[in-house]
Amino acid sequence: MTKEILLRVQKSFPLDPKPFEVIAKELGIGEDEVISIIQDQKDQKIIRQTSAIFDTKSLGYKSSLVAFEIDEDKIDEAVKILNAHPGISHNYERNHTFNIWFTLACSPTTTLGLEPTIEALAKLTKANDFIILPTLKLFKISVKLDTTGKEAKKEKVVKKENINIEMTPLHMDVVKLLQKDIDIKSEPFEDIINTLDINYDQFFKIVDELQQSGMMRRFASILNHRRAGFNANAMVVWDVDETNGEDIGKTAAQFSAVSHCYLRPKYPNWPYNLFTMVHGKTKEETNAVVDSIDEEIESKSHMMLYSSREFKKVRLTYFTNAEQIWETKYKNGEL
């Protein structure tokens, strides 16, 4: 039952005043049992966080995947510098000359901007070289680890049409509060409606609008991959023809074991433009998925980049003053 619950809360957490009761009715068990199982999985750090997942671009942020080449003896100090930036949410060491890979997002109010911030970080970390790999085309971003082993090997990736909404101060307040990890209790959204002095109907109406607009991708639990038994997670990069890149990307995204699929730019020293994150419990399992993808798409070559160390993995916190503080320190030479 634990595996079924973990899969359910990853796919789409019920947006209901009593979400655990909804799950309990679906599975034919009691609400208290669901709460107990989820709390236990959180205590074991298998569930990393349960909160809203927002679309960075839709909220006005600019972001990119970045790869640095850092000398081995400078990595520890470089990681401290990188992890201190509030816009860096993920940071890994991978098996390549470009050995430090991180994602960086800059807010609409940044005074430096995305590329100048990357250049500043490269200087601070004494990087020998770096490449900036923004998303040119997003095919899929949805981390759902198959804890049951019963999911289909392929899935249909549906792109929904977004609507335009007027962002009111109340919408912004809801965004700020939905970012936070919920408490595992019968009414986990109760704290938000009490804080905002609104009722559930008003709250869920705003949440629905945020989803319909594309600003909020979904509300879900994110698992700690390794603690959940998925120990072989590889970033697989492919050299594909740009003119056919969209069709190729759509094909790769259909594999259930692929959580992220993007088209990114090529460089003279980096020929790979299709990026896929593939998750498996063993290297053999991950390799098998990659082989299956390779059979279905046209690529000149591909490379599997495993992470040897995870330095940072957090949800990006939107609309705080942390970025402003970092930029002020940088401009004052305090970093």
The set of catalytic residues is 90
Which region holds residue 66: left if phi is over 0, alpha if psi is between -120 and 50, else beta? Answer: beta
Phi and psi at 125, nearest 5°, equal: -90, -5
In single-letter form, the type of residue at position 307 comes to S
- Between CA 181 and CA 11, with CA 320 as vertex, the angle to 5 degrees is 30
Interstrand relation of 100-106 and 274-280 (parallel, antiparallel or unpaired): unpaired
**Residue whose C-alpha is closest to residue 249's, from 303, 305, 296:** 296
Q: Which two tokens stand for residue 102?
A: 């991180």
**Residue whose C-alpha is closest to residue 139's, from 310, 269, 297, 332:** 297
Task: Please tell me the distance from the alpha carbon of residue 142 to that of residue 93, in angstroms, as a whole number.
Answer: 22
DSSP string, 77-104: HHHHHHHTSTTEEEEEEESSSS-EEEEE
Considering only the C-alpha atoms of the chain, give the largest distance between any 2 of them, rounded to a whole number of Å: 60
**Residue whose C-alpha is closest to residue 195's, from 211, 210, 214, 180:** 180
